[in-house]
Amino acid sequence: MTQAPRWNISGEYFENCNCDVVCPCEVSPAGFLGARPDQGYCDVFMVFHVNEGSYGDVALTDLNLIVAAHAPGVMSEGNWTAGIYIDERASPPQQEALGAIFSGAVGGPMSAIAPLIGQMLGVKAVPISYKNEGRKRSATIPGILDSVIEAVPSPVADSVVIKKNAHPFFLEEWVQASGVRGTYQDYDFRWDNTGKCADYSPFRWAGP
């Protein structure tokens, strides 16, 4: 078996789920992903913008990837249904590299998530736009995803509400946000996470 090349990526992440602010999967006596979501199930889209990185000799700078996932109950119990969207600007080698990293096939944090996915709906190459505008983050896939999130108000002037040690994959500051607009429709899913829990954080991963 050919060994996977060394890889590393760093960038920006945000998510928007259907839980109320704050999501119990992150802050609960049951531990990470151990609590039942507020609505009994979780509908979440996870947006990754890679500022820089490489997979072997394949550069991965300025590319986007989005994972949409539905968990029917407690997230740690698995049986998720998920779809992956890869930036269509990525070349075939870049798409293959991103797919390997974000499927968890070559180690890294996503290898812990992969066993929770019971059904993978597919991987699509699509146009993805991403913006970082101060306390706002946004991403769109035409006809599929329209998402804007914003940090929740802080009682401290010129600051944001920060959670620490709330997520094993994002060890830096984890900013509490909410969905300004959050609609997603594809496959059999029709979600609206507007006004619901969101977070954003930088990330830095490496493997295998």
How far is Cα 103 from Cα 83, in angstroms, rounded to an integer? 10
Work out the percent of the chain whose per-residue pLDDT is above 90: 86
Distance of CA 17 to the CA centre of its chain: 10
pLDDT value at 162 more than 70: yes
Closest by CA position to 38, among listed 69, 16, 68, 17: 17
Neighbour count for residue 30 (Cβ, 10 Å) = 12
Given this model, what pLDDT does residue 1 score?
53
Given this model, what pLDDT does residue 208 score?
87
Q: What is the mean pLDDT of the chain?
A: 94
Distance of CA 141 to the CA centre of its chain: 14
Distance of CA 62 to the CA centre of its chain: 16
Convert the pLDDT of each residue in 34-91 to its tens digit.
899 999 999 999 999 999 999 999 999 999 999 999 999 999 999 999 999 999 999 9
How far is Cα 199 from Cα 201, in angstroms, rounded to an integer? 7
Rg (CA), the chain: 16
Mean pLDDT for the stretch of residues 21-30: 87
Work out the percent of the chain whose per-residue pLDDT is above 70: 99
How far is Cα 207 from Cα 188, in angstroms, rounded to an integer? 34
Mean pLDDT for the stretch of residues 116-127: 96
pLDDT value at 176 more than 70: yes
Mean pLDDT for the stretch of residues 102-117: 92
The 3-class SS string of the chain reads CCCCCCEEEEEEEEEEECCCCCCCCCCCCCCCCCCCCCCCCEEEEEEEEEEEEEECCEECCCEEEEEEEEECCCHHHCCEEEEEEEECCCCHHHHHHHHHHHCCCCCCCHHHHHHHEEEEEEEEEECCEEEEECCEEEEEECCCEEEEEEECCCCCCCCCCEECCCCCCCCCCEEEEEEEEEEEEECCEEEECCCCEEEEEEEEEEEC
Mean pLDDT for the stretch of residues 103-120: 93
